Homo-oligomer: A and B are copies of this chain.
Amino acid sequence: MAEYVKVLPEDLRKFTATCFMRYGVPPDDAELIADHLVLANLRGVDSHGVIRIPYYTEGVRKGLVKGKAEVRVINETETTALIDGGNYLGIPVATKATEIAISKAKSAGLAAVGARNLGHVGMLAYYTLRIAKNGLIGLVTVNAPARVAPWGGAQAMFGTNPISFAFPTSKKPVVVDMATSAIAAFKIRLAALKGEKIPEGIALTKDGRPTTDPKEAYDGILLPFGTYKGYAISLVVEILSAVLTGGILSKYVFNHPSTQGGFFVLTINPSRFREYDEYLRDIDALVNLIKACPPAQGFNEVLVPGEPEDRNYEERIRNGVPIDTSTWKLLVDVSKELGVELPKTI
């Protein structure tokens, strides 16, 4: 038995959009969510791909997030905006915040937009890539249900609190997108589904004992990446995402894969500092320097952040999206529940 099935991205997108429309999500937003989740799968970020369909729809069913809501801009200046998402699914809310930040940075040079009261926003690179495609530098952060202890602490206080940056180049953007925990919580769930162990030194049981069992870790406490320095970055993410926006602190976010704290997006227009061509010339030179760096023992090459995901994308857009069998079973259930035809396997 194959450990995965493969589907065409277009079929997967159609399936995903239809599922969300059945839940009352307006068609444009359902398409947006589908585009987002399938892009995550195409980039190999399967923890943030279509596996989220059953969780997001469960969130709607349980009343944790809404499948339809009014998204309001409650405070706005030339450079800033604050959005109340009305507890709508996070992807359309965060996309709106990002679009506002892009538009404002084009006119004002810089912009920062916060959003609160919204569901899970998915893969942060979705937003920063959109920013970079507009010739802007993007920073995006979000806080999430508490799973990570501060350095030296024995209680979960922060979400996995990811942070993403993207910088345009004349080829693919440089894209950083990483949890500030030593591992993403959903990757632990995925490891549990696949029956795999997690590395040492990244999680504690709920009693504070080190563990490599993904189930114990999922019920327990994660550690920040890079000890006290990762803790500091996690705290920065918490403040920008929740305190600046008036979003919910991670400790008080209801723990479900459909929920989120607050969302923060910052955009910088590099052409306000230098001629855009000069910026491109210099970032290209930096990327080339890094690619020319001789690899250390045990490595074949030096990668630029975003490069592994770009390679996954190239491969999967050509050959189809692999979906592991445990995720596929979840999609089969969703398909039955909603009467939506499954994407064809290839």
Which residues of chain B come closer than 8 Å to A129, judged between CB atoms? none
Task: Select which of B152, B225, B297 is within 8 A of A302 by beta carbon.
Answer: B152
Looking at A40-48, A54-62, A235-243, the stretch in contact with chain B turns out to be A235-243
Which residues of chain B come closer than 8 Å to A290, judged between CB atoms? 150, 153, 157, 235
Task: Select which of B80, B230, B269, B296 is within 8 A of A153 by beta carbon.
Answer: B296
A327 to chain B, nearest CB (A): 25
Which residues of chain B come closer than 8 Å to A231, judged between CB atoms? 305
The answer on a CB contact under 8 Å between B235 and A152 is no
Looking at A274-282, A311-319, A337-345, the stretch in contact with chain B turns out to be A274-282
A312–B165 CA distance with the chains assembled, in angstroms: 34
A203 to chain B, nearest CB (A): 13
- Size bin of chain A's contact surface: 35 or more
Interface residue A272 (Cβ < 8 Å from any Cβ of B):
yes
A204–B176 CA distance with the chains assembled, in angstroms: 25
The answer on a CB contact under 8 Å between B77 and A296 is no
The answer on a CB contact under 8 Å between A283 and B239 is yes
A82–B269 CA distance with the chains assembled, in angstroms: 13
Which residues of chain B come closer than 8 Å to A232, judged between CB atoms? 165, 176, 178, 305
Task: Select which of B137, B244, B295, B299 is within 8 A of A270 by beta carbon.
Answer: B244
The answer on a CB contact under 8 Å between B174 and A235 is yes
Copies of this subunit: 2
A165 to chain B, nearest CB (A): 5
A238–B155 CA distance with the chains assembled, in angstroms: 34
The answer on a CB contact under 8 Å between A295 and B152 is yes
Which residues of chain B come closer than 8 Å to A245, judged between CB atoms? 273-274
The answer on a CB contact under 8 Å between A154 and B294 is yes
Which residues of chain B come closer than 8 Å to A204, judged between CB atoms? 296
Looking at A3-11, A108-116, A185-193, A328-336, the stretch in contact with chain B turns out to be A108-116
Contact string against B for A residues 147-172, beta-carbon threshold 8 Å, 1 for contact and 0 otherwise: 00111111101000000010100000
Which residues of chain B come closer than 8 Å to A296, judged between CB atoms? 149, 152-154, 204, 208
The answer on a CB contact under 8 Å between B286 and A243 is yes
Contact string against B for A residues 248-276, beta-carbon threshold 8 Å, 1 for contact and 0 otherwise: 01010000000000000010111011100
A3 to chain B, nearest CB (A): 26
Interface residue A1 (Cβ < 8 Å from any Cβ of B):
no
Interface residue A70 (Cβ < 8 Å from any Cβ of B):
no
The answer on a CB contact under 8 Å between B229 and A178 is yes
The answer on a CB contact under 8 Å between B155 and A293 is yes
Which residues of chain B come closer than 8 Å to A151, judged between CB atoms? 302-303
The answer on a CB contact under 8 Å between A80 and B289 is no
Task: Select which of B78, B137, B165, B167 is within 8 A of A109 by beta carbon.
Answer: B78
A229–B225 CA distance with the chains assembled, in angstroms: 8
Among A176, A272, A304, the most chain B Cβ lie within 10 Å of the Cβ of A272
A149–B299 CA distance with the chains assembled, in angstroms: 13
Interface residue A233 (Cβ < 8 Å from any Cβ of B):
yes
Interface residue A226 (Cβ < 8 Å from any Cβ of B):
yes
Residue of B nearest to A280 (CB): B243
A204–B232 CA distance with the chains assembled, in angstroms: 25
Sample of 7 more A-B contacts, CB < 8 Å, known A231-B305, A246-B273: A79-B272, A112-B268, A149-B293, A152-B302, A154-B296, A245-B273, A266-B268
Closest 5 CB pairs of A and B: A226-B226, A153-B293, A152-B299, A176-B232, A153-B302
